[in-house]
A = this chain, B = another copy of it.
Amino acid sequence: MEAYQPGFQPKDGGYLKLNTNENPYPPAPGAVTAVREAGVDSIRLYPDPQSVRLREVIGEVYGVPVERIIAGNGSDELLAMALRCFAGEGDRVAFPAPSYSLFGVLARIQGAKPEEYELDADFGLPEEFFSARAAIKLVASPNSPTGTVYSIEIIQRLLEETEGVVLVDEAYVDFAEESCLPLLLDFPNLIVTRTCSKSYSLAGLRVGYGFASEEIITGLMKVKDSYNLNAVSAAAAAAALADRDYAREITSRIVIERERLAESLAGLGFKISPSGANFLLCRPPGGRAEDLYRKLFDRKILVRWFDTPRLREFIRISIGTPEEMDILTEAVREILE
């Protein structure tokens, strides 16, 4: 069995990191304060096993009752819990490809049967995925690494045509224009997961959260590690989520920058996949993505290149600050010349 391969994390500095979709802006000031002023007792004593305080903040922000919210050690833990709950040995786990490569890894860990459904030419969900029979279907929207947003109508159709559970991983949704969260009210088979790693700049602290029916949340709570979320991360996440102005500000800067980068790269002959995330998947002129990836690496600019038949001609670029994007664009221009 193959483990999930995260993007390259350089040990030394001096790299421009545009390969793992981190946020270029610091976390909300209150989140940093929550870490730096952590009380000795919050370090010494067991944390709240249910992360109630954090879930209350999430509930207020999204207008969802606490009983329909779960918090986890990154949204990866929530995905793992969902598969532990709903994918028994030999059960089918359906998901599109290319998508988040952890989906298949988690299915195999459960001894379940991963079933990939190839996205269509525009990275849309294929017809067969809607009608597929599976214990659980997993979709990332916006999708990684393509950036594709699946509209609320598409997700609704998927829910209507699926008997099992549908998990929509909305890790990148704050950079998009719509979320499927409103569908929670009508579909008891929907799980929506989110993360504080992208739009809240807390990747190092590992905080994810999820929404579902009370029944599903109760089930997920049973398969989580007892004290799955540490006290310091929970406090920082609560502070970050509560600061709506700051979140809006850094998110909107990234969205603006994404559109500016898309335009610059299009001007250099790139084909850009429409993105609702904090990254762009794009095909350089001639599809010479590996070459570009390596030449950027030589200049200590890290982007992501996936060596698979479908993605080999693309690179994925995380959106940074305007200055970082200028450096990238200039480097790309020089390499292509």
- Which residues does A use to contact B, with CB under 8 Å? 1-4, 6, 9, 17, 20, 22-23, 26-27, 31-32, 35-38, 40-49, 73-74, 76-77, 80, 84, 88-89, 102, 109, 111, 197, 201-206, 221-223, 225-233, 236
Contact = CB atoms under 8 A, between A and B. Distances in A.
B44 A227 contact: no
A172 to B, nearest CB: 15
Given A6-B226, A111-B89, A46 B204 contact: yes
Contact of A46 (B20, B26, B36, B89): B20
Given A36-B38, A38-B35, A223-B109, A201 B49 contact: no
Copies of this chain, complex-wide, total: 2
B204 A43 contact: yes
Contacts of A49: 6, 9
Contacts of A77: 225
Nearest to A90: B89
Given A231-B204, A232-B35, A44 B22 contact: yes
Contacts of A38: 35-36
Contacts of A109: 84, 222-223
- Most interface-central of A2, A35, A84 (chain B CB within 10 A): A35
Contact of A74 (B2, B225, B232): B225
Q: Most chain-B Cβ atoms within 10 A of its Cβ — which of A1, A109, A221?
A: A109
Contact of A36 (B36, B41, B229): B36
Given A40-B32, A230-B205, A222 B47 contact: no
Nearest to A75: B225
A216 B108 CA distance: 18
